[in-house]
Amino acid sequence: MFSILIGLLLAFFDYNLVVFEQMKIEDERSQEKIVLSGLELDNETCLSAVSIKNKGTIEVRIRAIYVANSTTTTLLCDPSTYMDTHIAPDISLNMSLPTGISFEPDAKIIVATERGVKTKEYEALLVFGPPKPEWEYDPTKLYIGPLMLQFDAFWYRRTRGDGTLDPNDPWHPGWSIPKGFGYCAWNITIMNIDDRNITINRFSTFNVVPNDSPSNQLPWYLEPTNQTGLTQFLPVNETRNIIYIWADPKEPSGTNRPQKMTLPECTCMVFLTFFGVFHEHDGTTTTYAQTIPFEAAITVVG
């Protein structure tokens, strides 16, 4: 009777032991996480190696690599048969692949561990990276059109009554200007990002519009770099400074007066308006116009 009881107890404890072992396996499995981090090509047509990173908290062993395309899912290999595929946590491993496996951008690479945890990714994403968004927001480069404004390169400076720049006053950052500053010029930095050269004319303006009283807006007209044609040439892919000085479009006679900052303490929006022509590749010109709103306002301070 005693031996029978012993046998029963042993069987029961043996059962408990195996259940505990299985729970341990499940626990280890839940700690596994792998990601595909790269795919190498040998001559842009065949796969040569795959990189796998262990993102889990336990060591893994890679046991299978598959390729799935639109027509079939194939077991490529068990890399553990020709190399050590144990990967410690937070470590990457580069595993060579059998030769002759064609690169198919739309196919998926699937990697599985010994505990049956998988990861999969498209081959194209691993080789070329994720697609970049078509437009990345950059508040320093806000533009809709061929001229791109650099918002961090924006200044003002005192002018004399005849419109010439005051040599005793340097350029100040343009985001705030003292109230009653008087005659001043604005200097902005733009880049022609079109594939055609542009010539802007004397009607291009720098408009300051008070938020509280938009009708009191003040325009500053272009100071042309070409004093003969009263224009400014903006070549492709080059950065240029544009200076605005005048209260009216620059006249050939040079009788203009400069614009004066007369606004009270306020916050203002700024709009840049450009008029001119595109120089087409065939030598002709076409009309060009563009408005650039500033991302932030300038402030007239006391």
Partner 1 sequence: MTTLKIHSNCRALSPIFATLIILAIVTVLFIPVFVWSTGLTAETKSFWHISGEIATERIVIEEVNLRGGIQNCTIYVRNIGKTAIIVDDVFISSPDGSLNIYEKADFNTEPDSVVQGDLMTITVSDLGGFNPVGNMTYTVKVFTSRGVGDTYQVVA
Q: Running DSSP on this structure, what letter comes out for residue 2?
A: H
Q: Which two tokens stand for residue 63?
A: 């046991």
153 near partner 1, judged by CB under 8 A: no
CA nearest 76: which of 102, 53, 54, 37? 102
152 near partner 1, judged by CB under 8 A: no
68 near partner 1, judged by CB under 8 A: yes
Selected from 57, 74, 94, 227, the binder of partner 1 by CB under 8 A is 74
If the CB atoms of residues 112 and 298 are measured against partner 1, the closer one turns out to be 112
18 near partner 1, judged by CB under 8 A: yes
75 near partner 1, judged by CB under 8 A: yes
Selected from 116, 161, 180, 252, the binder of partner 1 by CB under 8 A is 116
If the CB atoms of residues 4 and 43 are measured against partner 1, the closer one turns out to be 4
121 near partner 1, judged by CB under 8 A: no
- Please state the φ and ψ torsions of residue 291, each to the nearest 5 degrees: -120, 130
115-122 LR contacts (CB < 8 Å, sep 24+): 115/25, 115/28, 115/29, 115/32, 115/60, 116/29, 117/29, 117/32, 117/33, 117/34, 117/60, 119/34, 119/35, 119/36, 119/52, 120/36, 120/68, 121/35, 121/36
Least distance (Å) from partner 1 to the CB of residue 296? 50
HSE of 142, CA atoms in CB hemisphere, 13 A? 12
19 near partner 1, judged by CB under 8 A: yes
Least distance (Å) from partner 1 to the CB of residue 21? 6
72 near partner 1, judged by CB under 8 A: yes
CA nearest 258: which of 155, 165, 180? 165
Question: Which element (helix H / strand E) includes 220?
Answer: strand 218-222
If the CB atoms of residues 66 and 271 are measured against partner 1, the closer one turns out to be 66
Selected from 33, 55, 63, 172, the binder of partner 1 by CB under 8 A is 63
Where in 23-52 is the site for partner 1 (CB under 8 A)? 25-26, 29
81 CB-near residues (< 8 Å, 6+ apart): none
Instruction: Note whether 37 and 64 are within 8 A (CB).
Output: no
98 near partner 1, judged by CB under 8 A: no
If the CB atoms of residues 21 and 152 are measured against partner 1, the closer one turns out to be 21
Pairwise CA distance, residues 93 & 49, whole Å: 10
Pairwise CA distance, residues 124 & 154, whole Å: 43
211 near partner 1, judged by CB under 8 A: no
Selected from 42, 78, 138, 238, the binder of partner 1 by CB under 8 A is 78
Which residues are at the interface with partner 1 (CB under 8 A)? 1, 4, 7-8, 11-12, 14-15, 17-19, 21-22, 25-26, 29, 61, 63-64, 66, 68, 71-75, 78, 110, 112, 114-116, 118
